[in-house]
Chain A
Amino acid sequence: TQLLEQSPQFLSIQEGENLTVYCNSSSVFSSLQWYRQEPGEGPVLLVTVVTGGEVKKLKRLTFQFGDARKDSSLHITAAQPGDTGLYLCAGARRGNNDMRFGAGTRLTVKP
């Protein structure tokens, strides 16, 4: 079982639609990060959330960290084909050294 469970695993939508992807765990994290990875490339950091209940916005992307710091969500408004990619969440638990990743949500936005 994954420490961080991401859902859905795959998502295919039309350009202009909104979507939300989730990252859940039974563990508490000191911080959670969201990355986007395109084919053939390494993951690129989008945002880090640190405080329980925190909401961060990056243009059309809205990131939320759960109050209990066990889960996070990423909402994309008016998706564009350029948003296509693998979205990964990652975090390090308090007192642990290992930064773990979820399995990712593979998003396809069709024009």
Chain B
Amino acid sequence: NAGVMQNPRHLVRRRGQEARLRCSPMKGHSHVYWYRQLPEEGLKFMVYLQKENIIDESGMPKERFSAEFPKEGPSILRIQQVVRGDSAAYFCASLYTRDTEAFFGQGTRLTVV
């Protein structure tokens, strides 16, 4: 859905570099989910955030990965010291409230070389 903007669409990083993925939710939405998708697979939950709060990060690796959703600006998924296994498509979804419908961005395809 065009309302959720993710950038960049494609990101290439060398092993050991940092990757920053941005997600601007739909206007008025204060809930954001991040998912990871490997080729030919479904979406794996990573983290659920509300403005300025991490609600559930149980799906996110404890090392190298972090996420934030500041009061102003987009949600950021940050991957430090990337490895080849981090290569995947990362999608964010925004919701108005927790129980309402999720709208997805077009994803960021991260390639680690």
**A residues within 8 Å of B by Cβ?**
2, 6, 30-31, 33, 35, 40-45, 48, 86, 88, 90, 92, 97-104, 106
Contacts and interface: CB of A to CB of B under 8 A. Distances in A.
B45 A100 contact: yes
A92 B35 contact: no
Nearest to A45: B101
A88 B42 contact: yes
Chain A, interface SS category: strand
A31 B40 contact: no
A101 B44 CA distance: 7
Contacts of B1: 42, 44-45
A97 B48 contact: yes
A44 B104 contact: yes
A102 B56 CA distance: 18
B41 A103 contact: yes
Q: Taking each of A6, A44, A97, which has the highest tally of chain B beta carbons within 10 Å of its own beta carbon?
A: A97
A92 B99 contact: yes
A41 B102 CA distance: 15
B58 to A, nearest CB: 7
A101 B48 CA distance: 13
Nearest to B37: A37
B55 A42 contact: no
